[in-house]
Amino acid sequence: EEDSKTCSVPDEVMLNIFSYLSPRDLARCAQVSNRWNQLALDPSLWPGIYPVQWATGDWSFHPSLKDDDDEECGEEATCSFFALREVRIISGLVKHVLKRVGGGVRVCNLAHSRGISSSLVHKILKLCPNLHTLSLAHTRVTDAAFKEYGLKGQVGHLEHLDLTGCENVTDATLHSLTCYSAHCQDPLPASTSGITCPQDGSSTPPVSDHDSVISDRLPSSERLVPIVHPVISLSPPPVSENSGPSHSEFHLSFLESEALIEDPTFTDLSALELCDLDCLARNICNQRSEGENSTRGCCQTRDIFGSKEGKDRNSTGKTPKRLDSGEADVRNVPKTGCCSGGEGCEGADGDGERELSVMSSATLPHSLHGLRFLSLNGCFRVQDSGLRVLSERGGLPSLQHLDLSGCLNLTGAGVARLVEACPTLDHAHLFYCDNLFPDPFPTTASGCRNLQCTTRICCRSGD
């Protein structure tokens, strides 16, 4: 009755019509009636999410044709505006959309996102178990983004993982991605604590899962301020009312959740994760309160991942040098086993199931089992121990492209060990530092990809 003019149209036809709509239009359609809400949030209509380009007004389910490498922020105010909008869109997706459509999302492109945090990435990964393409290139995400990733049943789906320029990523990320023991409670090595930049000696504090990406970039006058929410109809329009919700009631789509920031000097993006109770998608959250699914995240529970301590400060942006061996050792990544050796893992006493899980860790497929493309370009904190985790956990049997350029702390032996565990890797698509010693594949591999690029880390950049 609510949409009497369309109620006779079969769902299949409606879905076909909706398949021509943009994500923003789908979000608007989802606010028309319960039936339209069900149809518009059908997982088949959401094959990918592109919050960064959506924030620029390009509401498309296809990647922008713009070259990411050429993308630059212009005016600071403009940069801040887009960053803020990204945060709203990503928050809206995480809170209200992905819970419904996450199973259908195959592509997540967050490259160059200025608004993404590790916490949000962690939630996206949790809500989109079937992702096969993930790009976090040139973001400030940390290892916390991938915490427990391998434990959530996301086995073998990832085919394309782009971590280009993710300077805060360490061995712990590779560790988490290949951890699949149901009993691993702590895939992150304890040593994700601070690291000293080899270039200028500055100390990077422990990476926080709540890296405040926005607030420290905004001038104090432009930081997020309290937002007065417009009145929004939370329910489909009553049948008796011919006049549907006004246009103004729709302008705050649940794709763009407003931030509830009370303190204009806030420094923690977790504040953005408070539930927008005025959102039309509140009925989604109600499923949680009804106990339908106790594991589904609900923003009303304030169940926010990770700690809220300390802001994550990025590196200075200068080209780092290799770490001294003494510095490299502090990461303390375990050589074998399914995780960092936390309770319940290798060596710990346990029941038969746990032992089986640990014993078979070398043969069970991990989440990178089907990976074809891997770029750690510029992830200078990754070391041989991280690559060893990949090679010792079954390798990457489907890998065809591997970029290790700018990983200044790798050795020739470490790269060779991983490449040996990648039987399908085409050496024409194998990139690593030209100064690697010993050079494991001097005549077959391609050289460093960063030499001609001023934005990527390269030991020959002249610094």
**Cβ 408 to ligand FES, closest distance in Å?**
6
Q: What is the DSSP string of 360-416?
A: GGGTS--TTTT--EEE-TT-TT--HHHHHHHHHTT--TT--EEE-TT-TT--HHHHH
What is the distance, to the nearest Å, from the Cα of residue 333 to the centroid of all Cα atoms in its chain? 22
Q: Which two tokens stand for residue 107?
A: 């592509």
Strands (E), 112-210: 133-135, 160-162, 195-196, 203-204
Burial class of residue 328 (count of CB atoms within 10 Å of its CB; 0-12, 13-18, 19+): middle
Part in contact with ligand FES (CB under 6 A); list of ranges 27-35, 107-115, 141-149, 453-461: 453-461
Q: How many residues bind ligand FES (CB under 6 A)?
A: 11
458 binds ligand FES (CB under 6 A): yes
26 binds ligand FES (CB under 6 A): no
Kindly report the number of other CB atoms within 10 A of residue 230's CB atom: 11
Part in contact with ligand FES (CB under 6 A); list of ranges 120-128, 238-246, 300-308, 433-441: 433-441
Residues 393-412 that bind ligand FES (CB under 6 A): 405-406
451 binds ligand FES (CB under 6 A): yes
Task: Identify whether the C-beta of residue 234 lies closer than 8 Å to the C-beta of residue 278.
Answer: yes
Closest C-alpha to 447, from 423, 429, 421: 429
Count CA within 13 A, CB hemisphere, residue 316: 14
435 binds ligand FES (CB under 6 A): yes
459 binds ligand FES (CB under 6 A): yes
The residue (of 324 and 343) whose beta carbon lies closer to ligand FES is 324
**Cβ 322 to ligand FES, closest distance in Å?**
10
Residues 6+ apart with CB under 8 A from 439: 412
Give backbone dihedrals phi and psi of 446, rounded to 5 degrees, phi first: -80, 160
430 binds ligand FES (CB under 6 A): no
Part in contact with ligand FES (CB under 6 A); list of ranges 111-119, 345-353, 369-377, 445-453: 445-453
460 binds ligand FES (CB under 6 A): yes
The residue (of 44 and 435) whose beta carbon lies closer to ligand FES is 435
**Cβ 163 to ligand FES, closest distance in Å?**
16
Task: Identify whether the C-beta of residue 337 lies closer than 8 Å to the C-beta of residue 324.
Answer: no
**Interface with ligand FES (CB under 6 A), residue from 127, 421, 445, 448:** 448
The residue (of 79 and 451) whose beta carbon lies closer to ligand FES is 451
**Cβ 396 to ligand FES, closest distance in Å?**
21
**Cβ 449 to ligand FES, closest distance in Å?**
8
**Which residue type, as a one-letter code, is found at position 126?**
K
Q: Which residues bind ligand FES (CB under 6 A)?
A: 405-406, 433-435, 448, 450-451, 458-460
